[in-house]
Structure 1
Amino acid sequence: MSLELLLAFTLFAFVTSVTPGPNNMMLLASGVNFGVRRSVPHMLGISLGFMVLVMAVGLGFAQVFEQIPALYTTLRYAGAAYLLYLAWKIAGSGAPDSNSSERQLRPFTFLQAAAFQWVNPKAWVMAIGAITTYTPQEDFATNVLLIAGLFALINCPSVGLWTVAGSLLRRWLDEPRILRLFNIGMALLLVASLYPILVDVNGSL
């Protein structure tokens, strides 16, 4: 991979990782509700789970989707449905010391966050874009592994900014009523984040 291509990919990885999307909306809400420390497994799950997704796309899944377009469509809408479920859970969550159940107060685990990447429409768009645009065909398998590793390294601190931003907002959201309104707002933004992603994938809804 040439230096020019590497720099271009680095910029692509940063911009796509740091811009609003389902992962970042959830991390912002997690930072507010649980703080940075309890959200670290969520952050690591996103980055490492996404790295595995990029490797899978590069080493075969993209060809599968070309042969069976309906599989990609099914995955996309299953992801959208799961995001709507998560938005509903976020909207209904309260402060950590509220009367909500312990299960509702638990942040995403590493495995939950990693598995979520497989139904996250934005993650698929990012992975396919990285493989088709920035991965040289010469020594392709090695370049796929390089792209996946670099994406994870860039992705983790990028999404972490949203967690930190959420934790900094905690002092302003001590009032349960204000925190509830914030969570509802995050849930609505999570739903809104689906629209441009689905349009980009399919051209129309």
Structure 2
Amino acid sequence: MTLDILIALALFCAATLFTPGPNNLMLMASGANFGLRRTIPHLAGVAFGFPAMIVPVGLGVMQIFDLWPPAQTILRAVSVLYMLWLAWKIAHAAPPKDRDAEARPLTFLQAAAFQWVNPKAWSMALGAITLYATSRDIGAILWVAGAFLTLGTVSAVTWVTLGTGVRRLLGQPARLRIFNWVMAGLLLASMIPVLLL
């Protein structure tokens, strides 16, 4: 991969990773509700899960949609249902002192698996592979995955840190409840492009 293509890939990664989307909104909400330390598994699942998704997508998983078009409709339906459940969970998160001991952010595996039903992740993966790994050889695909791993980790830490910063302002249960409802609403709004396809 040439330096100019690598710079273009880094800019593409930054533009797609740092903008609001399901992962970032959930990381921010998790940081606000659980703090940085408890959100680390969720953060790591996003940071490593998406680059891990890039590799099989680059190697041909997308051919499933060409061979069996209903798979795209099924993926869209599963994505919407899962996002609705996550939005409900965020909206109804109790303030820390009222939260039961079982409440926790997403685990590493849950966050990594979420990438496969995240519409923004699919569009990012397809766009990156199409633009920056046109040969579909493993070397180019690994460069794309590595760029997303590097910048994705910085993005995930940034969004969790924003959430923990907001946490200080949300000391009152009513404020936290409003924040959670706004985050849930934004998560649902991030689904609008999927629903309009």
Task: Name the TM-score class by shorter chain.
Answer: over 0.9
Kindly, what percent of the aligned residue pairs are identical? 48
Alignment of 1:149-168 (within 5 A): 149-168=146-165
Alignment of 1:37-52 (within 5 A): 37-52=37-52
Deviation of the 1:4 alpha carbon:
1.1
In the TM superposition, what whole-angstrom CA distance separates every residue of 1:85-127 from its partner, at most 9, and x where no partner exists?
00001100111111x3333x21111111001111111111101
In structure 2, stretches of 5+ residues that fail to align are none
In the TM superposition, what whole-angstrom CA distance separates every residue of 1:124-181 from its partner, at most 9, and x where no partner exists?
11011111111141x7121112211221111111122111011011111010111111
User: In 2, distance between residues paired with 1:149 and 1:95?
Assistant: 37
User: In 1, distance between residues paired with 2:145 and 2:57?
Assistant: 10
Q: Do the aligned partners of 1:27 and 1:159 also contact (CA within 8 Å) in 2?
A: yes
Alignment of 1:173-192 (within 5 A): 173-192=170-189
RMSD of aligned alpha carbons: 1.3
TM-score, normalised on structure 2?
Answer: 0.95
Is 1:65 the counterpart of 2:65? The answer is yes
Alignment of 1:39-118 (within 5 A): 39-98=39-98, 100-103=99-102, 105-118=103-116
Q: Which runs of 4+ in 1 moved over 4 A?
A: none
In structure 1, stretches of 5+ residues that fail to align are none
Q: Do the aligned partners of 1:80 and 1:121 also contact (CA within 8 Å) in 2?
A: no
User: In 1, distance between residues paired with 2:79 and 2:92?
Assistant: 20
TM-score, normalised on structure 1?
Answer: 0.92
Deviation of the 1:46 alpha carbon:
0.6
User: In 2, distance between residues paired with 1:186 and 1:6?
Assistant: 34
Residue 122 of structure 2: aligned partner: 124
User: In 2, distance between residues paired with 1:141 and 1:76?
Assistant: 28
Aligned residues: 197
- Structure 1 SS opposite 2:73: helix
Deviation of the 1:22 alpha carbon:
0.4
- Structure 2 SS opposite 1:106: coil
User: In 2, distance between residues paired with 1:3 and 1:35?
Assistant: 38
Alignment of 1:139-154 (within 5 A): 140-154=137-151
